């Protein structure tokens, strides 16, 4: 557990605004749509399923609380004024100067490089403002879209983590690990 509180910030990316999630009806509706999406669930195992209004309320509350705990920085990704997705730094470890990047994009907003633009913005912020040194990006083997996001954003493939994720049915999946270091050149 970190004893550091993160000050919520807004970030800019080309054509996007990243702001901390809020526990509002609009944010909860967007979170529910993203987290209940079959493609999201195919490639991710949420800590708790988000299937309704109360689940979405708990999820957005957890994003807000992550800033206070200092171990998670979660952003709603907006294009114009509409939430299009999510990007976050998770498992922030200030001693190891590391974190994990996570993201998802709503179905109607896919194929526009929203995830790549958002990941790039969070990566720059993590290195420059938080002083982190290593960021990891993980995705299931076979999730080529997430692999392309990692490669586009300069996250170098490091190998396969065997049976590192269990799906909702309990089946293990191999995970492809990418990482980017603060000393790496631009993508």
Q: Are 154 and 182 in contact (CB under 8 A)?
A: no
Q: What is the mean pLDDT of residues 136-152?
A: 96
Residue 86 vs residue 42, higher pLDDT: 86
Beta bridge partners of 87: 75, 103
- Token pair 């309320």 is found at 57
Q: What is the pLDDT of residue 1?
A: 44
Is the pLDDT confidence value at 133 over 60? yes
Pick the closest to residue 123 from 22, 21, 13 (CA basis). Answer: 13
Q: What is the mean pLDDT of residues 39-68?
A: 88
**pTM higher than 0.85 for the full model?**
yes
How far apart are the C-alpha atoms of 52 and 36, rounded to whole Å?
9
Is the pLDDT confidence value at 167 over 70? yes
- Could you give all domains of the chain from N- to C-terminal order, each with its CATH number? 11-181 (3.40.630.30)
Q: Are 117 and 16 in contact (CB under 8 A)?
A: yes
């Amino acid at each position: 557990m970190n004893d550091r509180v993160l000050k919520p910030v807004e970030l800019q990316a080309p054509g996007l605004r990243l702001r901390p999630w809020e526990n509002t009806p609009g944010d909860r509706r967007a979170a529910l749509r993203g987290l209940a999406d079959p493609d999201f669930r195919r490639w991710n195992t949420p800590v708790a399923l988000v299937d309704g209004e109360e689940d979405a309320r708990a999820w957005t509350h957890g994003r807000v609380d992550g800033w206070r705990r200092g171990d998670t920085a979660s952003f709603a990704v907006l294009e114009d004024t509409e939430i299009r997705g999510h990007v976050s730094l998770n498992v922030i470890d200030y001693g190891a100067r590391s974190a994990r990047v996570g993201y998802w994009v709503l179905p109607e907003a896919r194929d526009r490089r929203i995830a790549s633009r958002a990941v790039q913005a969070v990566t720059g912020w993590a290195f420059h403002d938080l002083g982190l040194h290593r960021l990891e990006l993980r995705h299931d083997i076979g999730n080529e879209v997430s692999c392309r996001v990692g490669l586009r954003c300069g996250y170098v493939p490091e190998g396969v983590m065997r049976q590192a994720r269990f799906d909702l049915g309990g089946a293990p999946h191999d995970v492809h690990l990418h990482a980017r270091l603060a000393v790496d050149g631009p993508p």
